[in-house]
Amino acid sequence: MSKYDNLDARTQLEQTITLDLKSALEKRGFTVRPNGTATNCAPANVPDIEVWNSRLHINVEVTQTTKSAADREMNSISDHLNKTKAFFPQKECYAIYVSPETHYRMINSIHDYNIARKSKDPKILPLCFSTFQLYVEKLSTSHYSLYTEAQLLKVISRFNEFTDDDNILRILYQEIFPSDMTLKKEIEDKEILKHAKIEQDLFGKLDTIENKLRESGIAVVGDAVRNMIYLVFMKLFEEKQEMLGGKNYFTSDTFIEFQQAQGQTEKKQAIHKLFEIVRDQEEFQETRLFTKTDHLAETLNDDFALEFVIKPLEEYRFYVTKVDGLGAAYEVLASNSSKDVKVGQFFTPKHVVQFMVKLADLDPTDVCLDPCCGTGRFLIWAMDDMLSKVSGKNAEIMSESIKHNQLFGTDIDLNVAKLAKMNMYIHGDGKANIWDDDGLLLYKTKGIDNKIDVILTNPPLGRMNYRKPNFDEDFLKRMTVIPRAKAEVAETEENDESKITGKVMKGGALFVNACNYYLKGVRDKSKKVEWRGGKLLIILDEGILNTDDYRETRQFIRKNYYIKAIISLTTDTFVPVSKTPTKTSILYAIKKDDPTATQKEPIFYAYAEKVGMDTKKRPCPNHLLNEKGEDILTKYLQFKAKIQECYDGDVFNQHKFDALGLKGGIIA
């Protein structure tokens, strides 16, 4: 709650805000003038407060009106601003709209106003009470040379990102208060809570939409997946077009406008026309994200789309937030289709993904693969991490290479592979190298043996059939983890070979084997021997790591990899997405280029009891990754640094390491 919330709207609100603006801005050369009096607010025909200097003129419009009741404010704000610009054509003119909270419809109206004038200076900046208070208090208590008008104009220049109060606060922090680490932490904590709430709300909305699709006979189970994904992607695509300066036709007002322009007022088929425009984008056809045969259900009409899809989703902005709208859609659909166990392989919890990407210590030149990419979360976070490390005169070229040449993913489920392509497109690209293919056969279909620097993956946790028709003799020879029994009679060389037994085994074991072929034997020859090869970060069913049935798999791992870390995850880790407790661990290993070499370095072990989300999808402590310095990543990095200190030239000295006396501990 801010100090403005309980003030009298007529006699106190504008008066208090005027005093605060004077304290913050007059020492910076601005004049602040209220258009109201000490006992009454400003009349309706003028701005509430005006702020100006020789270059700028800013209208400050103040209200205590909330939610949809604030809609009526927009006409007067824009009218006042347009008149101000006409009166001061030589100045840059802006308006700041201050309210308890900015309702999403008001945000949309402001967004439309700003976009329509993208090449001109009149713009409106919405600030909720708490953000406005933060801004003026920091300016009031800081030296006049700090927090300049240029920084405020940078905030306003990002008008296309004004999607909600929290995002505006983040922009304010980035442009005006980037050194305030306390504010940064407050914003991040607030975003975690907000995104968790949004996701909970969104699941409910999407579940309702799916039920309506089925109740109305528009889609059955399989079609519901396809139609829901297409509709959510259309929303994301239109939001991205809006960010690029185009028009977003996936809002209730603009969709009606589009419907009329397409001559579909009577036929009600504009939603199909809009999908075809999206589908037929050249880049989507080239990468086979869509084909000409893709279409929405024929019985879906504009009335249904507007009432049950566009309007319910209008309050959410997926494109500029970290909320995975596409993933949420598929998760709802998969769960309702009794695919709960399978869902776990598509949706690795976000905090686990973040941790594994950080643990991988990616380089901007790395080539990354996820052979079971699901909805693409590992690839998206890997791309963001690599792009954040790009710098120098070739930064643009390097960034384009990361997006288009260094990220590869595959999923055997066509719908899920499409979903990953869509997610990559929305998050910056990389869609060209997402395939619907069997991740165990990439040596044959894509020729990627010994070409990958880093693999980040969460393979199927259940059992997989290794006797499928497309798994030929060559595949079975490569898969040495598959159970074999020695032939009793060895009359010929052929009979001397091991005989494959059984039909199924845990998917993680098969992928550990396959990934060894995909990874480079030498990723960085400048590193110590045990750090030179390609990196594997994989989530494994813990049965692979500790049961007799998978003894051969563990032998394979020790023979072919240097094991860097094993982090055991709580059984609740996948419950939010799969509804089923599963005991898993993260294995971090580096490929050996000499399988006869024995590992000399010790292994880092940890157990994460909490991973940032509880079984009800509510935020909880995160033992994997946090800012307290007591998380598992920090402990691992300390452990790794000690390892590096214990080398005599190229030889690891175990006695030095033992002398360090490292001990484990509990992360609270």
Kindly report the three-state secondary structure assignment for every residue of 646-665: CEECCEECHHHHHHHCCCCC
Together in a domain, 237 and 253 = yes
Which of 128, 149, 179 marks a domain boundary? 179
Single out the residue of 367, 374, 311 nearest to residue 348, CA to CA.
Answer: 374
Which of 276, 311, 337 marks a domain boundary? 337
**What are the tens digits of pLDDT across the range 460-487?**
888 899 999 889 999 999 999 999 886 5
Q: For position 270, what pLDDT does the model report?
A: 96
Q: What angle do CA 573, 579, 582 make, to 5 degrees?
A: 45
Q: For position 586, what pLDDT does the model report?
A: 97
Mean pLDDT score of the chain: 88
From 83-92, 320-329, 332-341, 378-387, the region with the lowest mean pLDDT: 332-341
Domains: count for the chain: 3
**Three-class SS state of 410:** strand
* Residues, the chain: 668
Is residue 216 domain-resident?
yes
- Residue 316: pLDDT band (50, 70, 90) is confident
Single out the residue of 580, 467, 561, 466 nearest to residue 512, CA to CA.
Answer: 561
Q: Could you list the residue range(s) of the whole structural domain that residue 313 is in?
A: 192-337
CB neighbours (10 Å) of residue 29? 11
From 390-399, 423-432, 528-537, 570-579, the region with the lowest mean pLDDT: 423-432
Question: Which amino acid belongs to residue 412?
Answer: I
- Residue 154: pLDDT band (50, 70, 90) is very high
Residue 662 gets the label, from left (phi > 0), alpha (psi -120 to 50) or beta, of beta
Q: For strands 454-457 and 368-370, give the pairing.
A: parallel
- Tell me the average pLDDT across 376-396: 91
Is residue 168 domain-resident?
yes
CB neighbours (10 Å) of residue 442? 23
The 10 Å CB-count burial string (b at 16+, else e) for 577-591 is: bbeeebbbbbbbbbb
Identify the burial level of 250 via C-beta atoms within 10 angstroms of its C-beta, where 0-12 means exposed, 13-18 middle and 19 or more buried: buried
- Stated as kind and residue range, the H or E segment containing 628 is none
The 10 Å CB-count burial string (b at 16+, else e) for 631-663 is: bbbebbeebbeebeebeeeeebeeeebeeeeee
Judged against a pLDDT cut of 70, whether residue 297 lies above it is answered with yes
Judged against a pLDDT cut of 80, whether residue 324 lies above it is answered with no
Judged against a pLDDT cut of 70, whether residue 383 lies above it is answered with yes
Q: What angle do CA 197, 200, 201 make, to 5 degrees?
A: 85
Structure tokens at 494: 């052929």
Q: For position 229, what pLDDT does the model report?
A: 82
How far is residue 629 from each of residues 75, 382, 389, 621, 635, measured CA to CA in Å?
A: 50, 22, 22, 13, 8
**What are the tens digits of pLDDT across the range 13-72?**
999 999 999 999 999 999 999 999 999 999 999 999 999 999 999 999 999 988 777 778
Q: For position 342, what pLDDT does the model report?
A: 47
Q: For position 332, what pLDDT does the model report?
A: 67
Structure tokens at 307: 């009432």
Judged against a pLDDT cut of 90, whether residue 612 lies above it is answered with no
Structure tokens at 41: 């607010």
Percent of the chain exceeding pLDDT 70 equals 91
Contact 98, 110 (CB under 8 A): no
Contact 596, 551 (CB under 8 A): no
Together in a domain, 544 and 591 = yes
CB neighbours (10 Å) of residue 498? 12
- Stated as kind and residue range, the H or E segment containing 34 is strand 31-34
Judged against a pLDDT cut of 60, whether residue 494 lies above it is answered with no
Measure the CA–CA gap between 125 and 95, rounded to whole angstroms. Answer: 6
Structure tokens at 173: 């922090």
Is residue 494 domain-resident?
no
Judged against a pLDDT cut of 90, whether residue 255 lies above it is answered with yes
Together in a domain, 311 and 348 = no
How far is residue 643 from each of residues 534, 640, 651, measured CA to CA in Å?
A: 19, 5, 11
Q: How many Cα atoms sit within 13 Å of 342 on the Cβ side? A: 17
Structure tokens at 592: 């050996």
Strand ranges inside 501-631, DSSP E: 504-506, 535-541, 561-569, 584-591, 604-608, 611-613, 619-622
Judged against a pLDDT cut of 60, whether residue 337 lies above it is answered with no
Question: Which amino acid belongs to residue 581?
Answer: P
Strand ranges inside 79-201, DSSP E: 92-99, 123-128
- Tell me the average pLDDT across 80-91: 94
Rounded to the nearest 10 degrees, the angle between the axes of helix 325-336 and helix 221-243 is: 170
Together in a domain, 458 and 564 = yes
φ, ψ at 82 (rounded to 5°): -65, -40
**What are the tens digits of pLDDT across the range 193-248?**
777 777 778 778 888 888 888 888 876 655 776 788 889 889 989 988 887 778 89
Together in a domain, 85 and 217 = no
- Tell me the average pLDDT across 253-275: 95
Kindly give, in sequence order, each residue whose CB lies less than 8 Å from that of residue 489, ignoring residues fewer than 6 positions away: 495
- Residue 667: pLDDT band (50, 70, 90) is low
Measure the CA–CA gap between 226 and 163, rounded to whole angstroms. Answer: 28
Kindly report the three-state secondary structure assignment for every residue of 41-77: CCCCCCCCEEEECCCEEEEEEECCCCHHHHHHHHHHH
**Three-class SS state of 411:** strand
Which CATH number characterizes residue 539's domain?
3.40.50.150
Judged against a pLDDT cut of 80, whether residue 347 lies above it is answered with no
Together in a domain, 146 and 204 = no
Measure the CA–CA gap between 518 and 575, rounded to whole angstroms. Answer: 31
- Tell me the average pLDDT across 151-170: 89
- Contacts made by residues 614-619, CB under 8 angstroms, sequence distance 24+: 614/572, 614/576, 615/572, 615/575, 615/576, 616/576, 617/196, 617/199, 617/200, 617/576, 618/196, 619/192, 619/193, 619/196
Measure the CA–CA gap between 161 and 174, rounded to whole angstroms. Answer: 13
Is residue 6 domain-resident?
no
Structure tokens at 643: 């390892």
Q: For position 497, what pLDDT does the model report?
A: 55
Contact 57, 25 (CB under 8 A): no
Q: For position 210, what pLDDT does the model report?
A: 81
Q: For position 498, what pLDDT does the model report?
A: 67
pTM comes to 0.76
Together in a domain, 160 and 206 = no
Is residue 497 domain-resident?
no
Measure the CA–CA gap between 503 and 487, rounded to whole angstroms. Answer: 18
Together in a domain, 601 and 582 = yes
Which of 112, 145, 179 marks a domain boundary? 179
Judged against a pLDDT cut of 70, whether residue 625 lies above it is answered with yes
CA 85 to chain centre: 40
Is residue 327 domain-resident?
yes
- Residue 663: pLDDT band (50, 70, 90) is confident
Together in a domain, 39 and 109 = yes
Structure tokens at 374: 């699901």
Rounded to the nearest 10 degrees, the angle between the axes of helix 165-176 and helix 129-140 is: 20
Is residue 639 domain-resident?
no
Beta bridge partners of 61: 97
CB neighbours (10 Å) of residue 340? 16
How far is residue 321 from each of residues 59, 161, 186, 236, 351, measured CA to CA in Å?
A: 29, 10, 17, 11, 16
Residue with token string 């905030």: 155
Which CATH number characterizes residue 43's domain?
3.40.91.50
Judged against a pLDDT cut of 90, whether residue 7 lies above it is answered with yes
Q: For position 489, what pLDDT does the model report?
A: 46
From 126-135, 426-435, 608-617, the region with the lowest mean pLDDT: 426-435
- Tell me the average pLDDT across 120-142: 93
Measure the CA–CA gap between 582 and 501, rounded to whole angstroms. Answer: 26
Q: For position 261, what pLDDT does the model report?
A: 95
Together in a domain, 380 and 296 = no
Q: Which residue has the higher pLDDT, 224 or 385?
A: 385
**Three-class SS state of 94:** strand
CA 60 to chain centre: 35
Structure tokens at 500: 């494959």
Judged against a pLDDT cut of 50, whether residue 496 lies above it is answered with no
Residue with token string 């932490």: 185
- Residue 335: pLDDT band (50, 70, 90) is low
Contact 41, 48 (CB under 8 A): yes
Together in a domain, 387 and 241 = no
Together in a domain, 210 and 77 = no
Is residue 1 domain-resident?
no
